[in-house]
Structure 1
Amino acid sequence: MSSLLVFTSLPDAASAQTLAETLVEQRLAACVSILAPARSVYRWSGRIEAAVEIPLLIKTQAARYAALEAAILSLHPYELPEIVAVPVELGLPAYLAWVDAETEPIPAPC
């Protein structure tokens, strides 16, 4: 399988924690690193804006990206959230195997 690092940013620690826990609980992410607050500067509706945001670094497999994106969109408070996925070219094989195993969907009971 191929792994991805997916980036998004949330407006506060509480929403970052909620999103991180939900993604791991739903097996859409093996791990979500909640990073230190960062100041973002961007253009929005024709104006330069600045905001403190909480970046998330999400580890998942490429096959789960569509479901991950849908989950982020449904839970994210922003009108247009940053969701950027970067393919993992190299990594510790055992770690990448763990990412794959932790993001495999659980089959529904019969």
Structure 2
Amino acid sequence: MDKLGSRCPLPGSPRPSVLTCLLILTASFLIYPILRTLSLQLHSTVTGSYVSGTHSIVFVNCPNEQIARDMARALLDKKLAASVNILPKAASLYFWKGEIEEATEILLLIKTKTSKVHMLSSYIRLVHPFEIPEVFSLPMDQGDTHFFKWLEEGVEDD
């Protein structure tokens, strides 16, 4: 009887409600990114190796060099990035409101922690003059561990 009682709830014993199960499931999804980041940092620290995807490069086009420099400096001041390259005069062709447009833009290559990409993107949307700024990221797969350690120190902790 003990084995049966431990597997099947006895009549009158409390059962988890659907709401409780949904809350636990939702909390699990919300906590996962934080736990993943912490476990990657712990693994990297303990083993001295780099875990792919911990850092990202964010690409952003700007209409001119002054805006690009101001944005780069603000990202560094806010510790959202460890490094920003400003690549001048990228020729851009794109569809805008049903027409093919052509412009000369400045490309920012922003190096940051992957965990900061969402916050960095939100900040760029606030300050960028384009109605829809081009912001996307790629995870860094491999590279020099000394560079990644330096990058880690240059970006504010989560």
TM more than 0.5: yes
Contact preservation (8 Å) 2:65, 2:88: no
Structure 1 residue corresponding to 2:154, chosen from 75, 99, 102: 102
Instruction: Describe the superposition over 1:34-76 as per-residue Cα deviations: whole angstroms up to 9, x where unpaired.
Output: 0121110001100000000000000000111111011111111
1:12 lines up with 2:64 in the alignment: yes
Q: TM-score, normalized by length of structure 1?
A: 0.92
2:105 pairs with 1:53: yes
Counterpart among 82, 95, 104 of residue 30 in structure 1: 82
- Tell me the C-alpha RMSD between the 2 structures: 1.2
Higher relative contact order (CA 8 A, sep 6+): 1
As a proportion of its length, which structure holds more strand? 1
With the length of structure 2 as denominator, give the TM-score of the two structures: 0.65
1:73 aligns to 2:104 (yes or no): no
2:58–2:111 Cα contact (<8 Å) kept: yes
Partner Cα separation in structure 1 for residue 118 and residue 59 of structure 2: 14
1:89 paired residue number? 141
Q: Give ranges in structure 1 of 5+ residues lacking alignment.
A: none
> For the residues of structure 2 that align with 1:90 and 1:53, how far apart are their CA atoms?
29
Secondary structure in 1 matching 2:88: coil
Q: Which structure is larger by alpha-carbon Rg, 1 or 2?
A: 2
Percent identical pairs in the alignment equals 36
Instruction: Spell out structure 1 runs of 4+ moving beyond 2 A.
Output: none
Aligned length: 106
